């Protein structure tokens, strides 16, 4: 039994037959960096446990040292967002409502704000069906440069008008740090899209403002990378981050992405922040919104982000995955019933 003073950060596994001098070299470099190594030598390989300051050690290219086979991290790389840092669920207040810790958020609305009429009508029907927040894009990330790119600041003003009329807090995406002030002025929640999950300057920027952030998981991001992205925001002082699972990219082509339903309980084990699910982007198919929404609530999600549009056939973006008012109302009713079944309350 070896008691070590300091936090055991990683284990360095040496190659079979590594020379003593190679082991010694690693130890020397650790000492120079203010860290320490504790050696365990078996018949076949030697393993070095490393104790010291995480940030210093993490920056050392230990796997490139002569004789090193691999480096196994012991501790997770995030702190502020971890369950170890905070054991109780974070509850975020938005407008008059809450999300997290038993409070469920149903966020709905169109992919993009297309006109004042379209957005106000959207706000009314999602409110009527029981949504607790309104979504709508002002700046749209589009794969094609030839597609509709959003109405910009004009859309932000329309969103604010819809909030004034319906009382629904407004969620909208920020793509560019140069538009942060505008978004903060008009929106209640700043969405960071999947393609910007590792746009680190954007993360830092929203970490400095007093607005909750809805952070979407990247298409090929691991759960731990999502939590690291959240750490970027929280580290700057903004602790109100909502995480959103929206499907990852796999070989399956029957759905646009593959909803990683297990990410919900995994994140809840590792992190204290609220987790919501976007079944619209996860599947790209309206006929899967209901089963995946119910599954998400059953698996422990704190909310849902659903695309709905007064007339999906005329939508300028994502019409194919947007629910019409009648279908949204029907599905919202089922969602409410499931929210009650799992013992949570809406808003």
* Cβ distance to its own copies smaller for residue 96 or 254: 254
Q: Please state whether 139 falls in left (phi above 0), alpha (psi between -120 and 50) or beta.
A: beta
Near its own copies by CB under 8 A: residue from 93, 164, 208, 220: 220
In the list 223, 242, 308, 339, the residue contacting its own copies (rule: CB under 8 A) is 223
Separation of alpha carbons 117 and 198, rounded Å: 35
Asked if residue 261 binds its own copies (CB under 8 A), the reply is yes
Give the per-residue contact string, 273-292, with its own copies (x = CB under 8 A; - = no). Answer: ---------xx--xxx--xx
Q: In 3-state terms, what secondary structure has residue 200?
A: helix
> Are 302 and 104 contacting, i.e. CB atoms less than 8 angstroms apart?
yes
Residue closer to its own copies by CB (options 21, 96) is: 21
Q: 151: Cβ–Cβ under 8 A, 6 or more apart, which residues? A: 112, 113, 114, 138, 158
Does the footprint of its own copies cover residue 250 (CB under 8 A)?
yes
Residue 148 in contact with its own copies, rule: CB under 8 A: yes
- Residue pair 88/271 in contact (Cβ under 8 Å)? The answer is no
Q: With binding defined as CB under 8 A, does residue 228 bind its own copies?
A: yes
58 is a site residue for its own copies (CB under 8 A): yes
Q: Minimum distance from CB of 224 to its own copies (Å)?
A: 7
Can you say how many angstroms the Cα of residue 219 is from the centroid of all Cα atoms in its chain? 11
Instruction: By CB under 8 A, tell whether 62 contacts its own copies.
Output: yes
Residue with tokens 């999950």, as numbered in its chain = 197
Ramachandran bin of 257, using left for φ above 0, alpha for ψ from -120 to 50, beta for the remaining angles: beta
Q: Which of residues 151-170 bind its own copies (CB under 8 A)?
A: none
Tell me if 345 contacts its own copies by CB under 8 A.
no
**Residues from 295 through 314 that contact its own copies (CB under 8 A):** 295-300, 312-313
Tell me: does residue 145 bind its own copies (CB under 8 A): yes
């Amino acid at each position: 039994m070896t008691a070590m003073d300091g936090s055991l950060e990683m284990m360095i596994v040496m190659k079979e037959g590594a020379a003593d001098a190679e082991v010694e070299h690693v130890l020397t470099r650790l000492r120079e960096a203010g860290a320490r190594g504790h050696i365990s030598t078996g018949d076949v390989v030697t393993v070095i446990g490393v104790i010291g300051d995480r940030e210093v050690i993490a920056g050392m290219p230990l796997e490139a040292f002569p004789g090193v086979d691999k480096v196994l991290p012991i501790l997770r790389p995030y702190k502020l967002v971890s369950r170890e840092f905070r054991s109780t669920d974070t509850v975020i207040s938005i407008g008059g409502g809450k999300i997290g810790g038993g409070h469920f958020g149903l966020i709905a609305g169109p992919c993009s704000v297309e006109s004042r009429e379209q957005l106000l009508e959207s706000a009314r029907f999602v409110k009527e069906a029981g949504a607790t927040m309104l979504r709508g894009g002002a700046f749209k990330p589009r794969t094609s440069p030839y597609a509709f790119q959003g109405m910009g600041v004009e859309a932000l003003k329309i969103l604010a008008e819809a909030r004034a009329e319906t009382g629904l807090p407004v969620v909208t995406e920020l793509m560019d740090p140069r538009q942060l002030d505008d978004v903060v002025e008009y929106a209640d929640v700043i969405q960071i899209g999947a393609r910007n999950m590792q746009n680190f300057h954007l993360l830092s920027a929203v970490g400095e403002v007093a607005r909750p952030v809805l952070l979407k998981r990247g298409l090929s991001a691991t759960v731990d990378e999502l939590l690291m992205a959240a750490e970027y925001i929280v580290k700057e002082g903004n602790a109100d981050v909502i995480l959103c699972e929206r499907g990852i990219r796999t070989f399956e082509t029957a759905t646009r992405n593959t909803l990683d339903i297990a990410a919900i309980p995994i994140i809840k084990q590792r992190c204290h922040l609220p987790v919501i699910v976007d079944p619209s982007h996860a599947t790209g198919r309206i006929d899967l919104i209901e089963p995946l929404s119910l599954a998400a609530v059953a698996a422990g999600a704190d909310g849902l982000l659903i695309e709905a549009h007064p007339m999906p056939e005329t939508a300028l973006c994502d019409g194919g995955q947007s629910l019409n008012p009648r279908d949204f109302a029907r599905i919202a009713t089922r969602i409410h019933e499931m929210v009650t079944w799992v013992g949570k309350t809406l808003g």
